[in-house]
Amino acid sequence: MRHSRGIATGAAIAATALALTALPSLAGAVTSSPTGTSAKTAAGTTLTADALRAAEEMPAGALKAMQRDFGITAEQARERVANEYRAGEIAPALAEDLADSFAGAWTTGDTSTLTVATTDASEASAITAQGARAKVVEHGMDELKAAKAALDRAAEKNATTAAPVWYVDVKTNSVVVRASDTAEARAFAEAAGADTDLVRVVKSDEQPRPLYDLRGGDAYYINGSGRCSVGFPVTKGSQQGFVTAGHCGTRGSSTTGYNRAAQGTFQGSSFPGNDYAWVAANSNWTATPYVKTSSGNVQVAGSTQATVGASICRSGSTTGWHCGTIQQHNTSVTYPEGTITGVTRTTVCAEPGDSGGSYISGSQAQGVTSGGSGNCRTGGTTYYQPVNEILSAYGLTLKR
Active site residues: 247, 275, 355
Q: What angle, rounded to 10 degrees, do the helices at 49-56 and 74-98 form? A: 150
Residue type at 277 in one-letter notation: A
Q: What is the C-alpha separation between 124 and 204, in angstroms, rounded?
A: 35
The dihedral over CA atoms of 123, 106, 277, 216, expressed in degrees to the nearest 10, equals: -130
Length of the chain: 400
For 163-238, list the strands marked E by DSSP. 165-169, 174-179, 199-203, 209-210, 219-222, 226-229, 232-236
Q: What angle, rounded to 10 degrees, do the helices at 4-15 and 74-98 form? A: 150
CB 109 within 8 A of CB 115: no
Question: CA 261 from chain center: how many Å?
Answer: 31
What are residue 392's phi and psi, to 5 degrees?
-65, -40
End-to-end CA distance of the chain: 39
Q: How many other C-beta atoms lie within 10 A of the C-beta of residue 379? A: 13
Q: What is the C-alpha separation between 201 and 147, in angstroms, rounded?
A: 13
304 secondary structure, DSSP code: P
Q: Please, which residues have CB within 8 angstroms of residue 212's CB and are 6 or more apart in sequence?
A: 226, 228, 247, 248, 352, 353, 355
